[in-house]
Amino acid sequence: MNDQQAEAILGALTRIANILEGNHAAAPGVSADVPSNPYASPDVPKGYDTVLGYFSKNMPSAFEMMDDPITGTLRDGHWLTHQAHRRDIPVHKVRAPEALQEIGIGEINAYPKWLLAERIN
């Protein structure tokens, strides 16, 4: 190894150490932002979530095993809507997440998180 290679390696290791210690911004070309969840709706009231949002955040391994999460969660949405109406629980219409807007669905239901947990967990 020549001096130029050693300096390049040392520089890279120094940048990594600084990032790990929080003393430096992310490496050039690398975003430190967490990517957004394409299944999360942007306007969900506090204490509520959508079926897709809840699944993707709380049960990602089960969610990832679905062939099609949108159709794979329809039965849950029907059950939640029925139970909410039967129990007189408010359901909120919210703007659909990106994945649904791409196929022409503009709004979906948001349910109380405790009701989602009752159904999904």
pLDDT (0 to 100) of residue 80: 95
The token pair at 108 is 């979906």
Splitting the chain (121 residues) into consecutive groups of 10 residues, what average pLDDT does each group show?
69 66 54 64 92 86 76 88 97 90 91 94 80
Strand order in the sheet with 48-49: 48-49, 107-112, 92-95
User: Does the global pTM surpass 0.75?
Assistant: no
The separation between CA 104 and the C-alpha centre of its own chain, rounded to angstroms, equals 20
Asked if 26 contacts 71 with a C-beta cutoff of 8 angstroms, the reply is no
**Is 55 within 8 Å of 98 (Cβ atoms)?**
no
Axis crossing angle, helix 74-86 with helix 113-120, rounded to the nearest 10? 130
Q: What is the pLDDT of residue 64?
A: 75
